Amino acid sequence: MSVYTDVSAPALAEFLSHYDLGVPKALEGIGAGTENSNFFLQTDSGRYVLTLFERLPAAEIPYYLHVTEWLSQRGIPCPAPVHARDGTILRELCDKPAAIVHCLPGASIVQRCPSDSEVAAAGALLARMHLAGADFAERHPNPAGWFWCQHTARRLSPKLSPAERALLVEELEAQKAWPRDKVPGGVIHADLFPDNVLFQDDAISGVIDFYYAGDDAWLYDLAILANAWCSLTDGSLDKHRAATLWRAYAEIRPIERAEHGLWFPYMRAAALRFWLLRLEARHFPRPGAMTECRDPEEYRRILACRREFC
């Protein structure tokens, strides 16, 4: 569970006095998620999500809120920020940057494999999101892109076992040659795992958690989905599900010839990135009241399996 900061009733009341959202009825900490403190906020005008940003510097947060506002205005079901009376979308609560966004209906898939139709829906939604974000003007390099991977690998190295360190060194050496800017790209979500997609009546009703979004290759975003939605327990790729994902995506954004040869390298690059992300969370944990740590081994296994393809 992840709620790093407790919000008292007086602090909430002061915060809400800047918004036209009516009287607060309930504030409930959300257990899922690892990065921020999230709360369902019920007021007499509706249901919202209150986020206190625990990791991101305040200066970077407006980008994420602008992206979701832009995409939601273009038909992507994502959490549009609520504007305070003075027009701002980012304020401060308990000495943390904080925002209120609209609460989306539906529930994510938990403790089961996504079905073919759910995988296809996720692929199609990702393609729509890429196209909807194509004209978004703010530039923001992928915060967990190649530069971050190299930096995090150096930071983690003394904490790793000899076998983990050897794997990391080999991967950095192999992956440094792969092109990252010669293929179509733009805003990518970069964390579209099943827990960040809400379904209602078999259709996607919400895409959440844009706090890793940034500019990168669109195919790399699809590779993140392939690992997250189409991996078996042993880390191997369910090729049937991956083909379903690819087809559904390509029907909406046809994949260019230059991208085809990068499909497997990008899955491997995406596996490395999430292995590092989880290792970082394990070896450099943030102090938190309730913290869920995801297993780095899952992504080490996925990485080991993707190495067999390229």
Ligand X SMILES: N[C@@H](CCO)C(=O)O
104 lies in the site for ligand ATP, by CB under 6 A: yes
> Using CB under 6 A, which of the segments 72-80, 120-128, 233-241, 270-278 binds ligand X?
270-278
Torsion sign (Cα): 204, 33, 57, 285: negative
> Using CB under 6 A, which of the segments 128-136, 143-151, 234-242, 274-282 binds ligand X?
274-282
Q: Which of 100, 34, 25, 114 is nearest to 69 (CA)?
A: 100
Q: Could you tell me how far CA 28 lies from the centroid of its own chain?
A: 22
> Using CB under 6 A, which of the segments 97-105, 109-117, 128-136, 164-172 binds ligand ATP?
97-105
Q: How many residues sit in the footprint of ligand X (CB under 6 A)?
A: 8
29 lies in the site for ligand ATP, by CB under 6 A: no
Q: Which of 199, 211, 229, 249 binds ligand ATP (CB under 6 A)?
A: 211
Q: Which of 116, 164, 195, 298 binds ligand ATP (CB under 6 A)?
A: 195
Q: Least distance in Å: CB of 250 to ligand ATP?
A: 27
Q: Which of 27, 90, 94, 103 binds ligand ATP (CB under 6 A)?
A: 103
Tell me how many degrees the CA angle 218-63-35 measures, rounded to the nearest 5: 85
Residue with token string 């309930």: 26
* Contact pattern for ligand X over residues 4 through 43, marking x by CB under 6 A: ------------------------------xx--------
Among ligand X, ligand ATP, none, the one that 175 touches (CB under a kind-dependent 5 to 8 A) is: none
Sites for ligand X among residues 128-147 (CB under 6 A): none
38 lies in the site for ligand ATP, by CB under 6 A: yes
277 lies in the site for ligand X, by CB under 6 A: yes
216 lies in the site for ligand ATP, by CB under 6 A: no
278 lies in the site for ligand X, by CB under 6 A: yes
| DSSP collapsed to 3 states, the chain | CCCCCCCCHHHHHHHHCCCCCCCEEEEEECCCCCCCEEEEEEECCEEEEEEECCCCCHHHHHHHHHHHHHHHHCCCCCCCECCCCCCCCCEEECCEEEEEEECCCCECCCCCCCCHHHHHHHHHHHHHHHHHCCCCCCCCECCCCHHHHHHHHHHHHHHCCHHHHHHHHHHHHHHCCCCCCCCCEEEECCCCCHHHEEEECCEEEEECCCCCCEEEEHHHHHHHHHHHHCECCCCCECHHHHHHHHHHHHHHCCCCHHHHCCHHHHHHHHHHHHHHHHHHHHHCCCCCCCCCCCCHHHHHHHHHHHCCCC
Q: Least distance in Å: CB of 63 to ligand X?
A: 17
* Contact pattern for ligand X over residues 183 through 222, marking x by CB under 6 A: --------x-x-----------------------------
Which residues are at the interface with ligand X (CB under 6 A)? 34-35, 191, 193, 274, 277-278, 294
Which residues are at the interface with ligand ATP (CB under 6 A)? 2, 30, 32-36, 38, 49, 79, 101, 103-104, 108, 191, 195-196, 206, 208-209, 211
